């Protein structure tokens, strides 16, 4: 049996999204609805009831891990997802290009995302190769838009340090400080603070930023870092369950989490991690990859981007694109006599709130071993009436269990 696990980031919503309906309920999704008539529905709390999930911790939980035991921070997944060599003792961060101006109090934040910069990141990355702090080897790689990943290698470093992102426009950047009284925290925080100041000195006078300012755009003139982490020890899914998996994802975080769990990364042309991602190419990649792997995990980010932007029209439209460009293809091309599908989100990102919430997320299972529900549509409210009920995390182990991969616990 083969398995397909699809996560639409931030899929769930609230009735306040669109005149009494969520974006998922309002969307025209004939192919998802058709799958719903052939499968079972439920609600999943990505981590647990009442826990507001982060994207990283939610994915760990949905893939079958206990984030309270294994999570060390987001930065390591960003670095792994960018293809960096991460070793024991390295400290990793998620990083943002941001816009700041000098002030008497320090570097004052103008925009946390440098106006969502969409070009020139390679020039910025090349310039930051000049970062040099005694006692540290620093590597930065740009990802999509303003995002990137940063790794610090050196002796006696610690992940127990604070971020430099103040999160509020008009305030000065934070100085990184130890969050626990442990060896190496002072040293690591000092390296981060030197790196932050150097990044500003390197980037502020770049020709790219002069052009941006002349064009009325914000400069990408500093790096913000957060999510300090070292490499967690995770048993691979293959070593625990026996199934060999692959990941298809445009965002570095999701690739990094999956690779940390032992999945192989499958590159896809046009997988941007945004609203413009090439969903058709991802659908084709799922079909190809299933020939060589026991299961495929496919991540789509556009639903979450629209939710954070509080844009109901974009979220609804992206759901409809997933329906016509992904689920239509799966319905038509998958051998449903030997394949199981699970579809859900890693959290809810309602339009009115614009961020992750504690709400459970609808989940759909389809396949020959799954009893059918009487429902005919897929959405939050109908999923709450489904035969799967409400459960916490572990969607991938459930999917692989339906595929007859699950090991027995006890005798």
Predicted confidence (pLDDT) at residue 116 exceeds the cutoff of 90 = no
Rounded to whole angstroms, the Cα distance separating 56 from 78 reads: 10
Q: What is the tens place of the pLDDT at every residue in 336-382?
A: 999 999 999 999 999 999 999 999 999 999 999 999 999 899 999 99
CA neighbor of 275 nearest in space, from 241, 303, 316:
303
* CA contacts within 13 A on the Cβ side of 106: 14
Average pLDDT (40-58) is 98
Q: For residue 21, report the phi and psi dihedrals to the nearest 5 degrees.
A: -120, 150
Name the 3-class secondary structure at 371: coil
Residues in Cβ contact with 384 at an 8 Å cutoff, skipping those fewer than 6 apart: 43, 362, 390
pLDDT at 402: 98
pLDDT at 411: 86
Q: What is the mean pLDDT of the chain?
A: 96
Beta bridge partners of 339: 2
Is residue 147 within 8 Å of residue 125, measured between CB atoms? Answer: no
- pLDDT class for 220, splitting at 50, 70, 90? very high
Name the 3-class secondary structure at 65: coil
Domain 2-71+234-402 sits in CATH at 3.40.720.10
Residues in Cβ contact with 140 at an 8 Å cutoff, skipping those fewer than 6 apart: 95, 125, 128, 129, 131, 148, 149, 150, 151, 223
CA neighbor of 150 nearest in space, from 117, 180, 179, 176:
176
Average pLDDT (98-114) is 95
Q: What is the tens place of the pLDDT at every residue in 5-47?
A: 999 999 999 999 999 999 999 999 999 999 999 999 999 999 9
E strand map for 309-357: 339-344
Q: For residue 403, report the phi and psi dihedrals to the nearest 5 degrees.
A: -85, 5
Q: What is the tens place of the pLDDT at every residue in 134-180?
A: 999 999 999 878 989 999 999 999 999 999 999 999 999 999 999 99
Rounded to whole angstroms, the Cα distance separating 251 from 82 reads: 9
Q: Is the dihedral of CA 89, 267, 56, 243 positive or negative?
A: negative
Distances, alpha carbon 404 to alpha carbons 324, 367, 411, in Å:
30, 12, 17
Break the chain into its structural domains and give their ranges.
2-71+234-402, 80-229
């Amino acid at each position: 049996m083969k398995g397909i696990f699809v996560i639409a980031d931030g899929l769930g919503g609230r009735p306040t999204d669109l005149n009494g309906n969520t974006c998922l309920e309002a969307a025209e999704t004939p192919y998802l609805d058709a799958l719903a008539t052939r499968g079972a529905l439920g609600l999943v709390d990505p981590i647990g009831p009442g826990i507001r999930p982060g994207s990283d911790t939610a994915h760990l939980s949905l893939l079958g891990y206990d984030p309270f035991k294994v999570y060390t921070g987001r930065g390591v997944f960003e670095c792994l997802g960018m293809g960096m060599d991460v070793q024991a003792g390295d400290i990793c961060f998620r990083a943002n290009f941001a816009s700041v101006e000098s002030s008497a109090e320090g570097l004052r934040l103008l925009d946390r995302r440098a106006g969502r910069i969409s070009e020139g990141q390679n020039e910025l990355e090349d310039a930051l190769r000049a970062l040099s702090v005694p006692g540290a080897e620093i590597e930065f790689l740009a990802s999509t838009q303003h995002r990137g990943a940063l790794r610090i290698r050196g002796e006696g470093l610690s992940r127990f340090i604070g971020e430099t992102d103040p999160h509020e426009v008009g305030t000065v950047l934070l100085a990184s400080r130890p969050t626990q009284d442990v060896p190496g925290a002072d040293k690591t925080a000092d390296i981060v603070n030197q790196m932050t100041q150097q990044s500003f000195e390197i980037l502020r006078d770049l020709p790219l930023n002069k052009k941006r300012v002349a064009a009325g755009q914000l400069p990408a003139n500093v790096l913000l870092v957060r999510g300090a982490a070292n490499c967690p020890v995770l048993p691979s899914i293959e070593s625990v369950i026996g199934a060999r998996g692959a990941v298809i994802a445009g965002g570095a975080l999701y690739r990094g989490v999956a690779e940390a769990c032992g999945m192989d990364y499958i590159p896809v042309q046009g997988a941007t991690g945004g609203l413009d991602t090439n969903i058709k190419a991802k659908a084709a990649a799922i079909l190809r990859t299933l020939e060589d792997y026991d299961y495929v995990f496919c991540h789509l980010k556009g639903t979450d981007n629209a939710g954070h932007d509080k844009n109901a029209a974009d979220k609804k439209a992206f759901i409809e694109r997933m329906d016509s460009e992904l689920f239509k293809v799966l319905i038509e091309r998958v051998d449903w006599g030997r394949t199981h599908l699970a579809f859900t989100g890693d959290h809810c990102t309602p339009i009115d709130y614009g961020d992750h919430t504690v709400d459970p997320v609808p989940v759909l299972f389809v396949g020959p071993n799954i009893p059918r529900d009487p429902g005919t549509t897929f959405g939050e409210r109908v999923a709450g009436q489904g035969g799967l009920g409400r459960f916490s995390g572990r969607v991938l182990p459930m999917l692989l269990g339906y595929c007859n991969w699950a090991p027995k616990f006890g005798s």
